[in-house]
Amino acid sequence: MSLIIKEIRIKTGMTQKAFSALFNIPLSTLRKWEQGEASPPPYVADLIARAIPAMDASLRVIHGNDGNAYYYDGLKKQIMDEAGNRITVGEDLEGVNEHNLGIYAAQLFSDFHDIQERFNRDCRYDKQEAIIWI
């Protein structure tokens, strides 16, 4: 069970610190799980696995032209990246050319990360400067 948690974390590309923060698991507990010193209850491992798109077999895998995998949940109309970022889309993806869909998904998340970084940068700058936007 401990190795499963480590495999899940590695699949996300997250550090132990980021993974523990995301799931509200004490870092020391996560380290014990990954080193085999302790094991999480089976339901905890299952809940964590379900929260990571790559571990959910019910999701449609989209292979991005950027080498990344994206996951589509047709019921929720959400596309997710490997880290679990979710973007709701209004369009049903059935019938979209698979190659093109990979391009669209990669661009969607590239734009998402650019906007997210701009937001974070603006907030950092705002903390340093006394600015009131009009």
Q: What is the DSSP string of 39-71?
A: ---HHHHHHHHHHSGGG-TTSEEEE-TTS-EEE
Answer yes or no: do 70 and 106 share one domain. Answer: yes
> How does DSSP assign 78-106, residue by residue?
EEE-TT--EEE-SS--TTS-HHHHHHHHH
Average pLDDT, the chain: 87
- Tell me if 110 is assigned to some domain: yes
- Tell me if 85 is assigned to some domain: yes
Residue 130 in this model has a pLDDT that exceeds 80: no
What digits encode the pLDDT tens for the residues 77-92?
A: 999 888 778 999 999 8
Range of weakest confidence among 9-13, 88-92, 93-97, 106-110: 9-13
Separation CA 55–CA 27 (nearest Å)? 22
Please give the pLDDT value at position 49: 77
Please give the pLDDT value at position 47: 84
- Tell me if 120 is assigned to some domain: yes
- Tell me if 133 is assigned to some domain: no
Answer yes or no: do 119 and 66 share one domain. Answer: yes
Answer yes or no: do 23 and 79 share one domain. Answer: no
What digits encode the pLDDT tens for the residues 8-67?
A: 888 777 889 988 988 899 999 999 999 989 989 888 888 887 777 666 667 888 999 999
Domain that holds residue 87: 56-128
